Amino acid sequence: MSLTLAQIAEYINGNVIGDANYSVSSVGTLSNADSSQLSFLSNPKYKKFLNQSHAGAIIVLKGMAQYVTTNAIEVDDPYVAYAKAASLLHPTEKKLPGIHPSASIDPSAKIGTNVCIGANVVIEQSVIIEDEVVIGPGCVIEHDVIIRKATNLRPNVTLCFGVSIGERTIIHPGVVIGADGFGIANDNGHWIKVPQVGSVNIGNDVEIGANTTIDRGAIDDTVIADGVKLDNQIQIGHNVTIGKHSVIAGCTGIAGSTSIGEYCAIGGGTGMAGHINIASGVQLTGMSMVTKSINEAGIYSSGIPVEPAKQWHKNVIRYRQMDKLYDRVKQLEEKTKD
């Protein structure tokens, strides 16, 4: 698709500085874009790279066009504007409605209009699939699942029984929603299974990354609210609740019955203990370990940043000596008192 800068500027609410009739057909990075591509710069700190770019046009913050040697589109928020422009130039492929002959669909399932069901899909009894849903090849939809309007399941997604998925949600390959939570009880030295009788409720406009797993509730449901964005390979335990418009980066693990508020941002590799509460507006940097509730919005961190191995070993030795050092300080304090 090829669009003029005027068309793009109108869509992203920007102002063209240069040739408004200039056309671009795709997006590219500042360093690699050619004259047929649109790029962007969101951080003014890197403005020195603007005059080195060969992009046909660059989206920049208002007042930054003076540093661009090609065409520019000035906007209030370059990254948001770029996201919208990229969606315009690279629209999502529309799947044609239809049911592949290899799909296995129980007669009791209710299928809406303009639904696309791919090869080798399994849909069990009493499933409800609303209009314009796309179900990719190899998906398994167990009994009593509800999938709301215009949701898109990529290949090999598994929705276990009773799960509910909201509208316009995107679920990437390999996701499993509604498998049993990790519920076990110790019976005289033997672990016995605790039945997981809850389900999972996913809201509207949610996106769930590849190979993420969301366990069903032990009794009450696991709940992912509207607008939540989950990266790849996240584990969400039973009875977890995640508030509206929170975002979680990859390889994070959230233990059961933890509650996360609205508009939280959780960095990759974060670990959360179970049965804790995270207030709305909390930001956790990557690799944080959260063992207790956080009751106030703010930015929180834990862990030790990387450093040269030699220095790290020295610091570990010092850490192991802290107990003895503490005792010595206490002894000195006692002597000082005397």
Out of 90, 100, 143, 238, which one is annotated catalytic?
A: 238
DSSP β-ladder status, 152-153 and 170-171: parallel
Identify whether 90 is a catalytic site residue.
no
Closest C-alpha to 196, from 237, 146, 143: 237
Contact (Cβ atoms closer than 8 angstroms) between residue 261 and residue 246: yes
Residue with tokens 């499933």: 127
Name the DSSP class of 21.
T
Closest C-alpha to 248, from 260, 226, 262, 265: 265
Burial of 234: CB neighbours in 10 Å, binned 0-12, 13-18, 19+: buried
Q: Under the phi-then-psi rule, with left for phi > 0, alpha for psi from -120 to 50, and beta for the rest, what region is 87?
A: alpha
Task: Looking at the chain, list the stretches that DSSP marks H as alpha helix, in order from N- to C-terminal side.
Answer: 5-12, 78-89, 309-320, 322-337
| Alpha carbons 94 and 82: distance in angstroms, whole number | 22
Neighbours of 15 (CB within 10 A): 12
Question: What is the set of active-site residues?
Answer: 238
